[in-house]
Amino acid sequence: MNHWDVLIVGAGNAGLPCAIEAASLGLRTLLVEKDVRIGGCLHT
């Protein structure tokens, strides 16, 4: 079983920077996205 410090659901315009910040702080970060592409509304 894996251990994560941070779980972020959604790789949109809030989830992506949150995951980057958490990882840069040394936290084991898992980012999950339901769609094939990340970015959410950034693709429109």
**37 Cβ partners below 8 Å, 6+ apart?**
43
Q: 26: which 2 tokens?
A: 């040394």
**Length of the chain, please?**
44
- Residue range of the domain that includes 30: 1-35
| Number of domains the chain is built from | 1
- pLDDT at position 37 is 84
pLDDT of 41 reads 78
The verdict on residue 14 lying in a domain is: yes
Q: Over its length of 44 residues, how does the chain's per-residue pLDDT go in tens digits? A: 789 999 999 999 999 999 999 999 999 999 999 988 888 777 66
Residue 23 domain-assigned (yes or no): yes
CB distance 6 to 22 below 8 Å: yes
| pLDDT of 44 | 62
Q: What is the pLDDT of residue 39?
A: 83
Provide the residue type at 5 as one letter: D
The confidence score (pLDDT) of residue 11 equals 93
